[in-house]
Amino acid sequence: MRFGQPLEPVIENYQQVFDGWQAGGVTGIVLGRLVFDSSEGKSMAVPAFTPNKKIYEDAGVEPPAPPQENLSEKQKLLQEALENAKQRGLELYVFCPDHGAGPGGKGHHLCDEKTLAARVARIADVMDHYPMIDGGTLDGPELGYEITPGHRSNIFEDLPESVSSNASELGFDYQAIIAAQGRLEKKLQSLKPSEIDLKADGGLFGAFQLFDSDPDLMAWLAFRGALLVDYHRRLKEALDANCRPIRKCVGARSACFAALNGYNFAEMGKLFDILMPKHYFFHRGFDGMYGTIGRYIQTLTTWNPGLTDLHAMKIVEALFGLRMPWIGDRLDLEMGFPSEFFEIIVKDETRKALAAVDDPSRVVPWVEAGREPHRGDPISAGDLHRILVASQEAGLQNFLYHNHCHLTGSEWAVISNLCGERWYDGKPGYVPPDGLAWETISHRGLAK
């Protein structure tokens, strides 16, 4: 179970919350980001601890600023809650333990060594301050997976000139792959229905022809993976050298998007203790599979007025290897998930992740459902149940629910029934909070 953003509702009632979670089958906690609300109620405003300057000095980087106000009571409560969780035998991980790192260098964040050192120093500081913590969950960095102009993960805006030196070191011609990236963007804006019908269903070879058999396009894709693997290798080596031993976990998008956004699951499975792909399937919002598909359809048909939604969907299937014959029109995305979705897509995405590791316990996907998961459309308790059962049937043993703050009774009833002692409305003790996630609060202008 993840909690954080805010931390306060759990730490102020941690005994009852942990009792309820353990009864329902929770065996581990991911907490964070490590920030408190201010005394004036401003969310995510005050770091949870004072940085140890020596750690940053030894790393040759500037330390982050100390907390701007004294919240010693909250700090004490957090310490007590974590010690209690450890005594209960719960595994403890920090979400984004690098959050709040001091300033790094001026280069690209995937290439700049000082930026990496600042990130590692912050993680080391967190782990030094909280010795009961077992490890850290790194949420990124990643490259893009979207084509919509202006999207925060636009694939055509994520390889600036500042990565060119690393491209050379990794054996790639930066100018050639950026030129291929430009040709891909132009091609996606000039697609013809006839060539899609002819080539899109032809597997790798047909799709390669669809995109003009451009060899540098394959080099562009390969560089994206090489750049991320190189970064995470350097990160792991720096953590091994400068931080106490911890379990290192890495989050990523769903397996179908991994190759595009730079996550080579096979290599990541060698570097990290736990892979944490996102089993996010909702429409709209952040990082949901249906949401990404919907944006691709919208963008492709806007760029190419002669394309139908079905033609755009064929492009999506050719690029990502997805097979969704129930989607021929973007309206179909509004109709929810047919039974085939769970049997085919959820199981396939689970199997792909499991194939990257030697032990199924080393794959722990993020799962999010409820009223507004990551600002996306609702995922019902029934669909959550079908996602979890399909994943289990594909071999999954564990998952991380994100996030406790918007957990409703419906989801908790499903989770506890599958994983532990069944919870029900009116049961004494712990009650899910059914609140709004911080992304939603911020988006709606409700944050103080």
Domain ranges (residues) in the chain:
2-147+224-301+336-443
407-414 own/partner pairs: CB under 8 Å, 24+ apart: 407/370, 407/432, 407/433, 407/434, 408/370, 408/371, 408/381, 408/432, 408/434, 409/434, 410/370, 410/380, 410/381, 411/369, 411/370, 411/381, 411/384, 412/24, 413/381, 414/381, 414/384, 414/385, 414/388
Whole-number pLDDT of residue 446: 60
Q: How far apart are CA 263 and CA 99, in angstroms?
A: 21
CATH hierarchy code of domain 2-147+224-301+336-443: 3.20.20.80
Residue 25 has a pLDDT of 98
CA 306 to chain centre: 35
Tens of pLDDT, residues 366-380: 999 999 998 899 999
Q: What is the pLDDT of residue 43?
A: 84
Instruction: Sort 243 into a burial class: Cβ within 10 Å, 0-12 / 13-18 / 19+.
Output: buried
* Alpha-carbon distances, residue 136 vs 51, 55, 178, 444 (angstroms): 17, 18, 34, 30
Confidence (pLDDT) at 436: 74
Helices (H) and strands (E) in the chain, counts: 19, 10
Low-confidence ranges of the chain (pLDDT < 50): 448
pLDDT of residue 445: 65
Q: What kind and span of H or E run contains 317? A: helix 309-320
pLDDT of residue 21: 98
- Burial annotation 193-221 (CB, 10 A radius, 16+ → b, else e): eeebeebbeeeeeebbebbeeeebbebbb
Q: Given this model, what pLDDT does residue 286 score?
A: 87
